[in-house]
Structure 1
Amino acid sequence: MSVLDDWTAQVRAALELTPAHPDEHKLVLDIARDVAHGVLRPAAPVSAYLFGLAVGRGADPVASAAAITELAARWAEQHPAGEE
């Protein structure tokens, strides 16, 4: 078990959560990467939080992750680096 797996399991137990998807930490890390690179680094944890809220309210994790990744890609196209 990796440190990430161990940490995730401990946090999940402390918060009394069951995994919403077998690869949930990969989905969150992918979202954070895509948003940090396509939008803004501080937007990554906020987006991950919003992803968690959506999934906690019953949204499909894979579809939600795909939607955020798509939004980040669109944002990057519409807001080239250095243009603010």
Structure 2
Amino acid sequence: MAIYHLRASMISRSQGRSATAAIAYRVAERIEDRRTGLTFDYAARGGVDHTETLAPDHAPDWVMDRSELWNRVEESETRKNSQVA
């Protein structure tokens, strides 16, 4: 019998982390962080079988673009100790 396990963690700037880097790693894609100018490329990473973005029907089209979504999340928080994800 399988046992369900969930581990959640905060992505916080005070720890030197960014939402764009975290999502690029989790979905194994290349995402550029407009705030820092860094590009996170995890496209060669294996082990990711499926990724999906879910949004309500009335959500704007840019929500389905992962890079745009997470860059807007980063831009919405301005404090250096923001918890972005």
Q: Under a length normalisation based on structure 1, what TM-score does the superposition of the two structures give?
A: 0.27
Whose RCO is larger (CA < 8 A, sep 6+)? 2
Q: Which has the higher strand share?
A: 2
Q: Under a length normalisation based on structure 2, what TM-score does the superposition of the two structures give?
A: 0.27
